[in-house]
Chains A and B, each alone.
Chain A
Amino acid sequence: MASSVTLRQIDDYRWEIPREGKMRTRGLIFCSREMLPDVQGDQSLQQVANVATLPGIVGPSMAMPDIHWGYGFAIGGVAAFNLDEGIISPGGVGYDINCGVRLLRTKLHRDQVQPRMEELVNILFGNIPSGVGSRRKDLKLSMPTLKQVMKYGSNWAVKNGYGHESDLDHIEARGTIEGADPDMVSQFAMDRGKDQLGTLGSGNHFVEVGQVLEIYDKKIAAALGLFKDQVTVIVHTGSRGLGHQVCDDYIKVMLKASAKYGIELPDRQLCCAPLGSPEGRQYLAAMSAAANFAFANRQMVTHWVRESFEQVFQMGPRDLGMELVYDVAHNIAKIETHTVDGKSQKLCIHRKGATRAFPPGHPEVPEAYRETGQPVLIPGDMGRYSFVLVGTQQALTETFGSTCHGAGRRMSRHAALKVAKGRSIVRELAERGIIVRGAGRGTIDEEISEAYKDVQGVVDICHGAGIAKKVAKLKPMGVMKG
């Protein structure tokens, strides 16, 4: 079903949905003429217009170039709400709370790793539980421990031997969102999460060993510790069943709350509550707890990635140099301070399939990146490439410091399976030098390159519009699919 929403071109990278009807603000879409048909192919533009009707929205209702249909809010959506009249919505975050990406660098050259790639992928596969229903048999958390995880996130993981203190300096919010309240998370959600900490999950989640293919900005790349032909690792996962249950639980709460507070909804899936209401505060606290679970999850997966490298290459941590470049959340709502009309204001920024992209000098950017800007990690599909960018001043002023998050699907899983039918995707990728192993054949076929937009196009729009700056391009060498 194609979209019938009016779009007006502003410049090469910006399109506007003019304010009309019940919209309280305009829509702003970052897109190019070439990618426009992809964006118009589903109902996502209507979703951007719907978000613009919500109370307390500040600035435009925005969408990044990787926009596609999502539950309630479009995926690729960014929206800010003031704390007085504004709302918070589980649909503005998504089911996989704090789904995110982290990038590790190594001291290894691709030629050292390439010949051992099959072995490395197999070892990763053995050390990190993945796939449908993945759970850790060796790590079952008691409820008090699980609550600690939800309160302290990556910090809990590091204190318990998973990684180094210095990792925390390279994680958004240092891997711990303040204000997380595990008591706002249901027993159901905790039951789902207790065996899942340290698991990858399935679908589009992965661990990808790659190489730096191209450097766009030498100085910034050097500051991030990146060099050409260097081996890197990307970890992409989130809060697993715990986060899904928090979302599901609070959608029910919000359906009632929207009626209670008289919030008019163009779509039931935008159900929400005022940020100042008990329901709104409870969701924020529960969502933050789930986000911390996800930060701890990626921290633990990182630990096993490091162990896997040590096992395969028989090298110590010092020689491997597997340091964390950065860890970003791309499904989250956060209270942040932004300047609006010259005044500093606290806002709740919903980023659903969008990445924070803070500029050089911003107080929330870690010390190491004060001069470069915050690293932004954009994974592509398993057959193409991923990107490292940094945040910009333009992003801070125009998009509340936000940019894209990935490629975005252009084909349903059903259609992807049809395209993959009769082909061996694993062999095709191997011929191109990419070793892929998935828990099930289905997941690999569903995740074929053709099913995704070209992430290069998405990133070029963000770079062109100035809401992120390209630093390096990474090419996958070995992928462990969830």
Chain B
Amino acid sequence: MHPDVSPRGRRPKYRQLPHTADLGWRIWGDSLPELFENAAAALVSTLTDRRRLRLSETREISLESVDRESLLVDWLNYLLYLFDVDGFLGRDFRVASLTSRRLRARVRGERFDPARHPERTGVKAATYHQLKIGREEGVWQATVIIDL
């Protein structure tokens, strides 16, 4: 629905998958950190037009989880937590370090303002359903289903 092409214009960062009750995202990245960054971009693009967000505030995020897949779900749900707490939405995501259990990232963006930012769809949570992270021909790929 909102195709977002990588700077090199080769491959999209993410693409929406049809799903009756909810919403699925297929996400790509050249590296695992990039995959996580692109997943965050996909999530924010579900809520609003990411390109309209200013880079006026920063959030430092540090998370721990049981495995890589859970870490991806936790990362996305943490971004939803920040949004609910004070309306913060990220535009620029930098994953500084990533192991299969730990993530540190810096997110820049601003607080959502309905006057300037178009409303798209509310998101309840990122889920473990059909959750997959894999690598094909050197490209990282993930599938995440979002509960709306």
A residues whose Cβ falls under 8 Å from a Cβ of B: 41-42, 68-71, 75, 95-96, 131-133, 135, 188, 191-193, 196, 201-203, 240-241, 244-245, 247-248, 251-252, 255, 268-269, 409-415, 417, 439-440, 442-443, 446, 482
With A and B bound together, what is the CA distance between A275 and B131 in angstroms? 28
Name the B residues within 8 Å of A95 (CB-CB). Answer: 124-125, 147
Tell me if B93 counts as interface (CB < 8 A to partner A): no
Q: By the criterion CB–CB under 8 Å, are B147 and A69 in contact?
A: no
With A and B bound together, what is the CA distance between A251 and B119 in angstroms? 29
Name the A residues within 8 Å of B112 (CB-CB). Answer: 132-133
With A and B bound together, what is the CA distance between A251 and B84 in angstroms? 20
Q: By the criterion CB–CB under 8 Å, are A440 and B125 in contact?
A: no
If A132-B47, A132-B48 touch, whether A196 touches B120 (CB-CB below 8 Å) is no
Residue of A nearest to B145 (CB): A71
Name the B residues within 8 Å of A443 (CB-CB). Answer: 119, 121-122
B residues whose Cβ falls under 8 Å from a Cβ of A: 1, 16, 18-21, 23, 47-48, 66, 70, 77, 80-81, 83-85, 87, 112, 114, 118-122, 124-125, 127-129, 147-148
Name the A residues within 8 Å of B87 (CB-CB). Answer: 133, 135
Name the A residues within 8 Å of B16 (CB-CB). Answer: 414
Name the B residues within 8 Å of A196 (CB-CB). Answer: 84
Name the A residues within 8 Å of B147 (CB-CB). Answer: 71, 95, 244
Q: By the criterion CB–CB under 8 Å, are B84 and A414 in contact?
A: no
Contact of A133 among B21, B66, B84, B128 (CB under 8 A): B84
Q: By the criterion CB–CB under 8 Å, are B119 and A70 in contact?
A: no
With A and B bound together, what is the CA distance between A95 and B148 in angstroms? 9
Closest beta carbon of chain B to A46's beta carbon, Å: 13
Name the B residues within 8 Å of A191 (CB-CB). Answer: 81, 84-85
Name the B residues within 8 Å of A70 (CB-CB). Answer: 21
Q: By the criterion CB–CB under 8 Å, are B1 and A133 in contact?
A: no
If A192-B81, A412-B18, A417-B1 touch, whether A133 touches B120 (CB-CB below 8 Å) is no
Name the A residues within 8 Å of B120 (CB-CB). Answer: 132, 440, 442
Contact of A439 among B21, B77, B114 (CB under 8 A): B114
Query: Counting chain A CB atoms within 10 Å of each CB, which of B23, B128, B129 scores highest?
Result: B128
Q: By the criterion CB–CB under 8 Å, are A440 and B77 in contact?
A: no
If A192-B85, A439-B114 touch, whether A414 touches B122 (CB-CB below 8 Å) is no
Per DSSP, are chain B's interface residues mostly helix, strand or loop, or mixed?
Answer: loop
With A and B bound together, what is the CA distance between A307 and B83 in angstroms? 29
Closest beta carbon of chain A to B55's beta carbon, Å: 19
With A and B bound together, what is the CA distance between A179 and B92 in angstroms? 43
Contact of B119 among A131, A268, A410, A411 (CB under 8 A): A131
With A and B bound together, what is the CA distance between A200 and B19 in angstroms? 24
Q: By the criterion CB–CB under 8 Å, are B124 and A96 in contact?
A: yes
Name the A residues within 8 Å of B77 (CB-CB). Answer: 245, 248
Q: By the criterion CB–CB under 8 Å, are A71 and B20 in contact?
A: no
Residue of B nearest to A256 (CB): B66
If A132-B47, A133-B83, A439-B114 touch, whether A202 touches B119 (CB-CB below 8 Å) is yes
Q: By the criterion CB–CB under 8 Å, are A241 and B18 in contact?
A: no
Name the B residues within 8 Å of A415 (CB-CB). Answer: 18
- Given A191-B81, A191-B85, A443-B122, 18 further pairs, Cβ under 8 A: A69-B20, A70-B21, A131-B119, A132-B119, A133-B47, A188-B81, A192-B84, A202-B122, A203-B148, A240-B84, A245-B81, A269-B129, A409-B21, A410-B20, A411-B20, A412-B21, A442-B120, A443-B119
With A and B bound together, what is the CA distance between A135 and B83 in angstroms? 11
Closest beta carbon of chain A to B87's beta carbon, Å: 5
With A and B bound together, what is the CA distance between A71 and B146 in angstroms? 10
Q: By the criterion CB–CB under 8 Å, are B18 and A414 in contact?
A: yes
Name the A residues within 8 Å of B129 (CB-CB). Answer: 71, 269
Name the A residues within 8 Å of B20 (CB-CB). Answer: 41-42, 68-69, 409-412
Q: By the criterion CB–CB under 8 Å, are B127 and A71 in contact?
A: yes
Name the A residues within 8 Å of B80 (CB-CB). Answer: 241, 244
Q: By the criterion CB–CB under 8 Å, are B122 and A132 in contact?
A: yes
15 contacts across the A-B interface (CB closer than 8 A): A41-B20, A68-B21, A71-B147, A95-B125, A131-B119, A133-B112, A133-B114, A191-B84, A192-B81, A203-B122, A244-B124, A269-B127, A414-B23, A442-B118, A482-B122
Name the B residues within 8 Å of A202 (CB-CB). Answer: 119, 121-122
Closest 8 CB pairs of A and B: A202-B122, A440-B119, A241-B84, A192-B84, A95-B124, A132-B119, A244-B124, A412-B18
With A and B bound together, what is the CA distance between A203 and B120 in angstroms? 10
Closest beta carbon of chain B to A122's beta carbon, Å: 16
Closest beta carbon of chain A to B73's beta carbon, Å: 8
Q: By the criterion CB–CB under 8 Å, are B23 and A413 in contact?
A: yes
Name the B residues within 8 Å of A268 (CB-CB). Answer: 128
Name the B residues within 8 Å of A247 (CB-CB). Answer: 125
With A and B bound together, what is the CA distance between A191 and B47 in angstroms? 20
Q: By the criterion CB–CB under 8 Å, are A440 and B118 in contact?
A: yes
Closest beta carbon of chain B to A419's beta carbon, Å: 13
Q: By the criterion CB–CB under 8 Å, are A248 and B125 in contact?
A: yes
With A and B bound together, what is the CA distance between A135 and B114 in angstroms? 11
With A and B bound together, what is the CA distance between A240 and B124 in angstroms? 8
Q: By the criterion CB–CB under 8 Å, are B114 and A131 in contact?
A: yes
With A and B bound together, what is the CA distance between A191 and B82 in angstroms? 9
Residue of B nearest to A131 (CB): B119
Name the A residues within 8 Å of B114 (CB-CB). Answer: 131-133, 439
Name the A residues within 8 Å of B23 (CB-CB). Answer: 412-414
Name the B residues within 8 Å of A201 (CB-CB). Answer: 122
